[in-house]
């Protein structure tokens, strides 16, 4: 029977993150004026991840990290074919946390990075040039790892689909077909939780944008004589 597993905020987060990650990947290839959009996508990703972290505590049952955190016991049960659950299985949970961690690192490191030409992250002025260069190097190196993890994530979706398990459908409409004995509806994640999570996301975007940093006044013009 169909059971609501993934709530609407989680599903919107997922697909907005997909769009923003694709946007960041595409704009970094063109560089130049496209770096403005690369930064905007990065800020959006920070907001989305901040929302997900808050929603992972305040959201509905299967959105909460505690419901699918890949403990050794859960991983062992899954490998032995004894795991039962409606949300992410333990291996899927590892993928979720790996992607959140890597996307978070890329987005945060981008705030302090520079391209040695014209682009500087919105928080670049908070660190020295050498630190910014080191962070920029790590930011570029982690890009390949991001491609690998995303490719593995897509491959896993395809493999599960070939084995008869649909993962894309539930992330679109929120429902999964489960045996009647597992048909417990998700609970929690009401309007108060949503407002708090959105407020956290907005605050983190504002902090990441550097809007709170005082801009030094321009140097006085040299006299004409």
Residue of 218, 170, 190, 189 whose CA lies nearest to 4: 170
Residue 224 belongs to some domain of the structure: no
Does the pLDDT value for residue 186 go beyond 90? Answer: no
Report the pLDDT averaged over residues 65-78: 93
Residue 42 belongs to some domain of the structure: yes
Instruction: Identify the CATH number of the domain in which residue 197 sits.
Output: 1.20.950.20
The DSSP code sequence of 30-88 is H-GGGHHHHHHHHHHHHHHHHHHHHHHHHSBGGGSHHHH---HHHHHHHHTT----SS-
Residue 151 belongs to some domain of the structure: yes
Report the pLDDT averaged over residues 119-143: 94
β-pair partners for 176: 3
Report the alpha-carbon distance of residue 107 to residue 41 in Å, rounded: 9
Instruction: Write out the E strands in the chain.
Output: 2-4, 175-177
Q: Which domain holds residue 103?
A: 2-74+87-209
Residue predicted with more confidence, 52 or 83 = 52
Residue 225 belongs to some domain of the structure: no
Residue 82 belongs to some domain of the structure: no
User: How many structural domains is the chain composed of?
Assistant: 1
Q: Distances in Å between the alpha carbon of 90 and those of 32, 79, 95, 156, 172?
A: 41, 9, 9, 13, 21
pLDDT tens readout for residues 36-61: 999 999 999 999 999 999 999 999 99
Spatial neighbors of 116 by CB under 8 A, at least 6 apart, are 133, 136
pLDDT tens readout for residues 152-184: 999 999 998 898 888 889 899 998 877 766 667
Spatial neighbors of 14 by CB under 8 A, at least 6 apart, are 171
Does the pLDDT value for residue 204 go beyond 90? Answer: yes
Residue 79 belongs to some domain of the structure: no
Residue 173 belongs to some domain of the structure: yes
Q: What is the mean pLDDT of the chain?
A: 90
Residue 81 belongs to some domain of the structure: no
């Amino acid at each position: 029977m169909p059971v609501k597993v993934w709530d609407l905020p989680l599903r919107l987060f997922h697909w907005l993150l997909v769009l923003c990650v694709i946007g960041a990947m595409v704009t970094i290839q063109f560089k130049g004026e496209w770096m403005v959009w690369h930064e905007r996508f990065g800020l959006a990703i920070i907001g989305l991840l901040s929302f997900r972290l808050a929603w992972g505590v305040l959201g509905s049952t299967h959105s909460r990290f505690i419901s699918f955190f890949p403990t050794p016991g859960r991983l062992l049960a899954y490998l032995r074919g004894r795991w039962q659950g409606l949300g992410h299985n333990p291996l899927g949970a590892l993928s979720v946390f790996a992607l959140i961690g890597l996307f978070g690192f890329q987005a945060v490191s981008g705030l302090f990075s520079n391209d040695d030409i014209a682009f500087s992250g919105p928080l670049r002025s908070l660190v020295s040039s050498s630190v910014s260069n080191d962070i920029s190097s790590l930011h570029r190196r982690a890009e390949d790892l991001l491609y690998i993890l995303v490719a593995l994530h897509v491959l896993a979706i395809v493999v599960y689909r070939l084995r008869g398990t649909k993962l894309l459908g539930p992330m679109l409409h929120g429902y999964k077909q489960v045996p009647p004995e597992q048909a417990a509806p998700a609970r929690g994640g009401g309007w108060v939780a949503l407002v708090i999570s959105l407020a956290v996301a907005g605050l983190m975007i504002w902090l990441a944008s550097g809007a709170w940093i005082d801009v030094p006044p321009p140097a006085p013009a040299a006299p004409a004589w």
